[in-house]
Amino acid sequence: PYTTLFRSTTLIRQCVKKMQKGTSVEDIADMLEEDFSVIQSICNIAEKYAPEYEVEKICNEVENML
């Protein structure tokens, strides 16, 4: 549903912002109070889009993974 998609997009945007600041995956998971494996998956996908980190493309790939 829309709320799940919105939550995922928000989480991805937050991860990307923290990645751009050089924050570790463990710290991102801790800061966002999310499961490490979820954040690790998002970060692995996002890394492919560095340094631009195109959130829309990252979201599409995360959605396809689910």
Amino acid in the structure at residue 3: T
pTM above 0.95, yes or no: no
The predicted pLDDT at position 2 comes to 58
Task: Determine the pLDDT at residue 52.
Answer: 94
- Tens-digit pLDDT profile for residues 1-51: 556 777 889 999 999 999 999 999 999 999 999 999 999 999 999 999 999
Classify each residue of 5-38 as buried b or exposed e, where b means 16 or more C-beta atoms within 10 Å of its C-beta. eeebbebbebbbebbeeebebeebbeebeeeeee
The SS3 of residue 46 is helix
